[in-house]
Structure 1
Amino acid sequence: MSTEPRGEDFPDEDSYLLAWYTWRAIQRDGRFNTEELAVYYDTKEARVRQLFGQPAA
């Protein structure tokens, strides 16, 4: 099973692309830098909001 992000897991294309770039960086570096960590949490928050039908922050 691939660990690559799947498009259907994200509320929009921008969120997916941010997650994909972050995933790629982890594959490359083995850990998040400060900016990647911020994107990671923003993307997770967007997905939770989508699941609960709340507007984006």
Structure 2
Amino acid sequence: RFPPVGHAYDRQYSSQMKQIASKHNLELREGVYCGLGGPCYETIAEINMLRSLGGDAV
């Protein structure tokens, strides 16, 4: 039902992006972005839930 997204981006593409960022002295971070529908902000409970599920940024 839901396709796996463990490797959502091509590894060669990711490697190239890391090399380009390094070449230009840019800090590149990897993580899981969690997006929720608005227009209201997330509650503390929702933030804690997303964190416990492995989210890095909302």
User: What band does the TM-score fall into relative to the shorter chain?
Assistant: 0.3 to 0.5
- In the superposition, the TM-score normalised over structure 2's length comes to 0.33
| TM-score, length of structure 1 as denominator length | 0.34
Name the larger-Rg structure.
2
